[in-house]
Chain A
Amino acid sequence: MAHDHDHDGEEHGSELSEMQLRVRALETVLAEKGYVDPAALDAMIEAFETRIGPHIGARVVAKAWADPAFKQALIKDATQAVQTLGLNNRVGDHLIAVENTPTLHNMIVCTLCSCYPWEVLGLPPVWYKSAPYRSRAVNDPRGVLADFGVTLPADLQIRVWDSTAETRFIVLPMRPAGTAGWSEEKLAGLVTRDSMIGTGLPKDPKAIA
């Protein structure tokens, strides 16, 4: 986990040691004041590192692909529908699933901060929170897609959802052709995180068949 790594345009070496010290000081002070229990912080971090991630969203998408009644319920009220999967973690209010079709491609962004459907996708990647993505997704989504190596037909409608409130969006990508009869588990293996944000597409079934 803790590898030094340059990202987001920061001056890294100096920020790393400075931040290590500042955050450690904050934690010590807030724990000594009795506000936070460091063991509870450990438990929260452990959940985000091991339990809450895009595998949850992939399961949701695969079920929607395999089960038309679930898909209908998901589009109607994703919070309720995801609850029926019996996940360890409850999903907060107003999760909204938006469906890609042969004529429409959806993409999710938060231009103001970093709002993200983290209960089903885990914590957002650095690029999702970065200035390039937040600035360009709303006026140049095809350019953003090109940065991900994705080209869509020129006449396909592109719909960008700016997550400016406590409603959170997950993209329901199209089920790839050539997957008839696949189990939900096998289908879930095609669902990438980026395909649920709208900056990518599901994997090619031939690549994992």
Chain B
Amino acid sequence: MDGVHDMGGMHGFGKVEPEANEPVFHAAWEARCLALNRAMGVAGAWTIDEGRFGIEELPPAVYVARSYYGKWALRLENMVVERGFAGADEIAAGHALRPGKPLKRKFDLAAVARSLVRGSFGREAPAPARFKVGDRVRTKNVHPATHTRLPRYARGRVGVVEALRGCHVFPDTSATGAGENPQWLYTVRFDGRELWGETTDPTLQVSIEAFEPYLEAA
């Protein structure tokens, strides 16, 4: 979706402000929030792509104003309610008022190790890769209203396939519950001037990780 989360190239957000000796969490609730979100993912409540879409669906003003874990908390609340894992009345009450509907697995001590390794999204290829290293490709000019991993700044642009990364779960379908629909994944490199115009720093190159449906031959 063409949301405010798709920030590449936007102006006006100001300087990057690194914090010296930054703690892992800035408040105890941030740690609980991270752990709860990951725990529900490991428990099978939603996929990583559905979870990302859940953040993108926050209203733009909320997305920009809230801290990172503030967004995660709102997403968690929205998703457990939408998917029927808890009622808004229960969250307001601060206690369960009904038994929960079944989940794939409980997030217990045995599941912790699983939450500390990224999931594996490589899948068997349903067809040979359409492009090879060195091919010139153009990203499609598409504007899906749902989740996509093709950033706006890199749509309708010509780049070069630099690497094949295997065949992966396709976020665009996975995010809406439409299935894994595995697709080839490529690193596609663009000249900075192709993305940002002729006045751009000529030493700049930018790459995205592009799923095959995002690409056509150029």
Contact = CB atoms under 8 A, between A and B. Distances in A.
A93 B150 CA distance: 21
A2 B27 contact: yes
Interface size class of B (residues with CB under 8 A): 35 or more
B51 to A, nearest CB: 10
Interface string B16-53: 11110011111111011111101110010100000010
Interface of B: 5-11, 13-19, 22-29, 31-36, 38-40, 43, 45, 52, 55, 64-70, 73, 76-77, 80, 85-86, 90-96, 99-100, 103, 106-109, 111-112, 115-122, 149-151, 153-154, 165-166, 168-169, 171, 185, 187, 189, 192, 195-196, 200-201, 203-211
Nearest to B92: A25
29 contacts: A2-B27, A3-B27, A5-B26, A7-B67, A9-B65, A16-B27, A20-B28, A20-B29, A23-B36, A25-B93, A36-B36, A36-B43, A40-B39, A40-B112, A118-B118, A119-B118, A122-B24, A123-B34, A127-B17, A131-B10, A131-B13, A132-B15, A132-B16, A159-B206, A160-B204, A162-B154, A163-B209, A164-B209, A166-B119
B126 to A, nearest CB: 18
B6 A36 contact: no
Given A30-B40, A160-B204, A166-B119, 14 more contacts: A8-B68, A26-B36, A26-B77, A30-B86, A44-B39, A89-B117, A90-B117, A111-B8, A125-B19, A125-B22, A139-B200, A141-B204, A144-B16, A160-B207
Nearest to A142: B201
A17 to B, nearest CB: 9
Interface residues of A, number: 91
A66 B95 CA distance: 55
B211 A15 contact: no
B125 to A, nearest CB: 15
A186 interface: no
A91 B116 contact: no
B40 A35 contact: yes
Ranked 9 nearest A-B pairs via Cβ: A92-B118, A33-B100, A111-B8, A165-B209, A32-B96, A131-B13, A41-B35, A135-B10, A147-B16
